[in-house]
Structure 1
Amino acid sequence: MRAFVALDLPEALIRPVTALQAGLAAGRHTPEENLHLTLAFLGDISQGQAGAVAEALMELKAPAVPLRLAGVDVPGGKSPNLLWIGADPDPALIHLQTKIETLVRQAGVTLERRRFRPHVTLARFGNGLTTREQREIGAFLALNGAARLDEAKADTVTLYESHLREDGALYLPLAEAELTD
């Protein structure tokens, strides 16, 4: 199964993020129920590994983290496939992400070496953007590139199973941990 561990967006950020998305005419918007900040992408793992990660997650002791979303970007150089809003790399967020990676590895999952670039994906694009889509994205970035949303405390980490489908991904929660202050 394909899986990842994510910080769920707090309710206070859902409406501002979806309002931001509403101004984008290009791409396939990330549905509200799929908005998250990935802490560790696990890739394809076994049921046993998923169970071990779920168990470890249930034992997680960590405080809620401040989440500040700012700066809309289209990573990927000449052939971008997504648009995101960045997350401030707050020390509490970095500490939580490191803690999650450690517990995932201790549960027997080998993680790819990836630089942690905290963000929330707003939209995905197919291969090869049309000229019209490129113009729409450029106009959106000109208006919203410096967007900064109010800070909110994120207090839930979830292990998700991910199913890729033609009409977008389906994320099924397998385990959840509450972060407390």
Structure 2
Amino acid sequence: MSDESHEPLKRLFFALDCAPAQRKAIAQWRGDLQLRSGRPVPAENFHLTLMFLGAVGVARIAEICTAAAKVRKPGMPVRVVLDRLEVWRRAGVLVLAPDQAPPELLRLVYSLEQAMLPFRMEDAPKEFRPHLTLMRDYRMPVPESGTPPEFFLRAEYFTLFESHKGRYRALAQWLLGPS
């Protein structure tokens, strides 16, 4: 007899992954800022979160993947221009964000939120603000940059990640455009 309260949990989130070359370019650019505050997010963890699911029972992962597979996709890769450097004081993070979120990204997130309603572990979903976190525990003003940020994140997939001990592991991914 299984007792659900003792079921192993995984911390899950959906995100757009960063290509290795892009990770390297963003990490180099961040290094040029010569930041004196906060903890740098490891470059291999760079991503754009679509939706945080929180702690989910292992037994539900297959259902979540089935629901994610039915999400309406844009029909093409999603391009997001990360061209703003912002400090989110309450969260204590330094982020790269788009000046303008592309409509196909917003539609994907909305479709994902609808598909995940039966699985919500968190309280009400927070308003979606696309971003890539550069630093945690950041308590300074927005740093000056000699080169303004302009990174083109091009995602062909959206991915379900597990967060475990500061590492992110892809569990499943779905093509955004035609195969």
Identify the TM-score tier after normalising by the shorter chain: 0.7 to 0.9
Aligned residue pairs: how many?
163
Partner of 2:105: 93
Partner of 1:173: 170
| Deviation of the 1:50 alpha carbon | 1.9
Structure 1 residues 148-167: aligned runs within 5 Å: 148-163=149-164, 165=165
Contact 2:54–2:121 (Cα < 8 Å) also in 1: no
Structure 1 residues 126-145: aligned runs within 5 Å: 129=139, 134=140, 138=141, 141-143=143-145
Greater percentage in helix:
1
Amino acid at match of 1:76: R
Whole-angstrom CA distance in 2 between matches of 1:59 and 1:103: 8
Alignment gaps of 5+ in structure 1: none
Amino acid at match of 1:83: L
Amino acid at match of 1:35: F
Partner of 2:77: 64
User: Paired residue for 2:65, among 54, 63, 70?
Assistant: 54
User: Paired residue for 2:47, among 36, 49, 53?
Assistant: 36
Whole-angstrom CA distance in 1 between matches of 2:151 and 2:171: 29
Whole-angstrom CA distance in 2 between matches of 1:116 and 1:39: 8
| Deviation of the 1:61 alpha carbon | 5.2
Whole-angstrom CA distance in 2 between matches of 1:48 and 1:173: 17
Alignment gaps of 5+ in structure 2: 1-9
Higher mean alpha-carbon deviation, 114-123 vs 85-94, is at 85-94
Partner of 1:2: 11
| Deviation of the 1:143 alpha carbon | 2.3
Partner of 2:7: none
TM-score under structure 2 normalisation?
A: 0.78
- Measured against aligned partners, the alpha-carbon deviations of 1:43-77 in whole angstroms (never above 9, x if no partner) come to 11111222211223344452211110011111125
